[in-house]
Chain A
Amino acid sequence: MTQYLIRRILISIPTLVAISIVIFTILALAPGDPLAEFAMNPAVPPEVRQRIRKSMGLDDPIPVRYVKWASSMLRGDFGYSFRSKSPVIDLIRQRLPTTLYVIGTAYLVSVLIAIPVGVLSAIRQYSIFDNVATTLAFIGFSLPTFVTGILFILLFSVKLGWLPMIYRTTIETEGLAGLWERVKQALMPIMVLGLFETAALTRYTRAAMLETIHQDYVRTARAKGLAERVVILRHAMRNALIPVVTIVALSIPGIFTGAVITEQIFRVPGMGSLLISAIRDNDTPVIMAITIIFSALVVLFNLIADILYGVLDPRIKYE
């Protein structure tokens, strides 16, 4: 086990290097321009824009740019953003708490709702509960977040006036009132994202449970006279968890990169909006920093998932 862990961690280093090279190359080749907005501004003539492009090193050969980036990265320096000229690490630090709070809560809520609902749906397959849950899940999944977001705004902000539609990081109110304000403004983004995530996860949980619930060992457990609760939780669910763990482990790193559309609708200053605006502005240092951290998380959580498989099903061997 320890040996397996060490080997996996060692493998992850060349993996990350390879990923960084591929991503860097894609970014360098992808079309776009940091100064596109000024194209239609006669006060910023084309030759000035080209000079600035050059000064950012955008016209250098890709290997040169990569080595430059990688060597400062090795020194723990993520570099400076082309756009705001501030250290990338500061930008990430500013965004991380909000992202973890809003997006993290949404994921947590969706896991907490989806697993019980999925299990119940499976136990009572084709019951009213199951059909309602299925229909809701598909409404949640076929309506993209830009639709549910606007619907929620219309209902809760415009009609009822209960919740603010703009997320503010600058709330200064202190004490309970301030806390309530902070919670209130996060409710809609959490609901929108939670709905979407719950929808998908419910389906996976339900399917996995259906697969195990009719197995012989579950019948055996029942035949032994075990309580239904024990049968479901110990015998059926444990084996059903493998796909669920896979899906959850896949989406946890996503908390770090945020949720672009939801963040955009409610103006949540999370990592998603940072990444997307960096991409639109060709702000390579910012994109690289975020994607590298993200891929490290992906590698890490896949490792965790692999270990959990072994825990859930002892027959799986670590090779």
Chain B
Amino acid sequence: MSEVTEQRRLKTPAGAVGMAVTLPARKPRSLWSDAWRQFRHHRLAVAGSFVLLFMVIATIVGPFLWPIPWNHFDMAEALQGPSLRHPFGTSDLGHDIFARILWGGRISIAVGVVAMLVAVILGTLIGAVAGYFGGFLDSLLMRMTDMFISIPSLPLLLLITYLFQDRMKAMFGIELGMFLLIVLVIGGLNWMPVARLVRASFLSLKQKEFVEAAHCIGVGTGGIIFRHILPNTLSPVIVAATLGVAQAIITESALSFLGLGFPPDIPTWGRMLYDGINWIEFAPWMVLFPGGAIFLTVLSINYVGDGLRDALDPRRMFAV
């Protein structure tokens, strides 16, 4: 079924056996340049990339430009609605929410994306190996997956805090140490669905003709796994990845309620959302803006993911 895909993918890096003959004059089009053309035409994906880029830049540069520091509070200005001075309103202690969204965004976006990458990479590797090799290795890896699914996360998190928090702080300093710990913990707790998804696709794909064909022309195991089968499993992985970003941002805030992670006075989007929920009727901006920021980030990541997937699938050249 995926022969077409396969041919196209085969030709790209290896130097294009057939196409080179028919199109000698032009510079050979690579998968990536194809993908890029395709992606450019995907309006939502382009919009998503812009929004995402804008948010990243805003959170990096913004705190330097915005006059009110994120940790400044003035109780005389508590619970004010959005205004020119405080475009996103103020919190119950009188923090400027805009400043906090900008500052917290650095952490939330970074944690969301990196933790998602950890989960996806780990899950994909384990799923691919289990699905491709099968047999004992599959059994072993999948039972390990079962175990990770079964472990109740709360005691595990408390244990990790207890064992590693101070050590990480001592080794990497408080900010980097906590960041690494959080990212590894969230990634380490969320790779299981990805692993099972990838494995399921592998089970089905490895029996297909194009894999046999690849075997026949002498492609090595690594090549078959990563170049031939893996690209075909991307679509559920991309979904898992986009959802994973949202989950990681929320999980980060949940972790801070266990005393794991950043000190309590550092605002992250998830934390601001949680802090604001009690005020939802009286100061809705305390919920609206952090919630909106998470939503916008996740939605743009999703469209970027969608665009990427479409772009990488040559059969959908004309779908746009």
Contacts and interface: CB of A to CB of B under 8 A. Distances in A.
Contacts, number: 160
Contacts of B319: 125, 214
B139 interface: yes
A138 B295 CA distance: 7
A125 B274 CA distance: 35
A23 B154 contact: no
Given A141-B298, A146-B274, A151-B280, A243 B152 contact: no
Interface stretch (A25-33, A91-99, A101-109, A222-230): A25-33
A216 B4 contact: yes
A309 B4 CA distance: 24
Interface residues on B, range: 35 or more
Given A31-B158, A200-B243, A150 B280 contact: yes
A242 interface: yes
A142 interface: yes
Contacts of B22: none
A215 interface: yes
B158 A32 contact: yes
A125 B135 CA distance: 39
A22 B235 CA distance: 34
A264 interface: no
Interface string B149-160: 111101110110
B37 interface: no
Contact of A299 (B146, B193, B196): B146
A316 interface: yes
Given A11-B139, A31-B162, A246-B200, 11 more contacts: A15-B146, A19-B150, A135-B299, A138-B299, A142-B295, A214-B319, A250-B196, A298-B146, A305-B196, A315-B204, A319-B138
Interface of A: 11, 15, 18-19, 22-23, 26-27, 29-32, 125-126, 134-135, 138-139, 141-144, 146-147, 150-151, 154, 200, 203-204, 206-208, 210-211, 214-217, 242-243, 245-247, 250, 253, 275-276, 279-280, 287, 291, 294-295, 298-299, 302, 305, 309, 313, 315-317, 319
Interface of B: 1-2, 4, 44, 134-135, 138-139, 142-143, 145-147, 149-152, 154-156, 158-159, 162-163, 192-193, 196-197, 200-201, 203-204, 207-208, 235-236, 238-239, 242-243, 246, 250, 270, 273-274, 277, 280-281, 287, 291, 294-295, 298-299, 302, 309, 313, 315-316, 319
